[in-house]
Amino acid sequence: MTLHKLSILIPAFNEEKSITLILDKILDVRFPVELRKEIIIVNDASTDSTDAQVRDYMARHPEAEIVYLQHPKNRGKGAAIRTAIDRITGSLAVVQDADLEYDPKDYWKLVEPIIAGQEVVVYGSRFLNSKNRHSYMSFYLGGRLVSWVANLLYRQRLTDEPTCYKVFDSAFLKSIPLKCERFEFCPEVTAKVAKRGIRIKEFPISYYPRKVEEGKKIKWYDGVEAIWTLLKYRFTR
């Protein structure tokens, strides 16, 4: 099989409690085929020790292929992902939050269909895994609502549109003209993928939700923005 590289895009803002832990998990992942890992971290102007911890980690792990970028001022998750996309050198790309809600052990089941040439976009669904729990009913219902709206507007069959684990053929991802700044990355990329006639495939993933006091940043109004974004791109070019 042709050697592939997986670019792991990590937007990070004030993640001093978890950034090195998620990096450890990523480095520990092993694949059944030769698949290199490129980690692209974008520090979105963190005000805690995220910067120092990333730099120390890179010094302690010179064997890891880590690209470290910084925004001079806080712009948002979407902007950080767009910055990371510009630096992708792998043939595959996955979005990875800097917290510990998602498990990198799930990478292979998501990237394998793309490597096999069966898909160009794959999402990991938290709702397809019955063992997962959800920290807040409002987040659970909000995710369900956003997925329903996406399905209605774009003729998809998604169970978890807002999932972090979105995996792409990198060339395809780079061809999508994204404008997102904040959490609207998810609905924007979903809308623009769907408008190219692609039915997005989902696979079950593990999920370990954190609470607001543990650093969870998304708010109720981000769900409203997600629905507005889906509507906007459905009815505009």
Model confidence pLDDT, tens digit, residues 1-34: 457 999 999 999 999 999 999 999 999 999 999 9
Domain 4-234 fold is Spore Coat Polysaccharide Biosynthesis Protein SpsA; Chain A (3.90.550)
Model confidence pLDDT, tens digit, residues 75-122: 999 999 999 999 999 999 999 999 999 999 999 999 999 999 999 999
Using alpha carbons, list the distances in angstroms from residue 33 to 64, 72, 79, 115, 195.
18, 38, 32, 10, 33
CA distance 130 to 1: 33
Nearest to 93 by CA among 187, 165, 31: 165
Phi-psi category of 119—alpha, beta or left, where left has phi over 0 and alpha has psi -120 to 50? beta
CA distance 116 to 131: 28
Give the residue extent of every domain in the chain.
Answer: 4-234
pLDDT of 176 higher than 50: yes
> Which ranges of 5-136 does DSSP label H, i.e. alpha helix?
19-28, 50-60, 77-85, 107-115
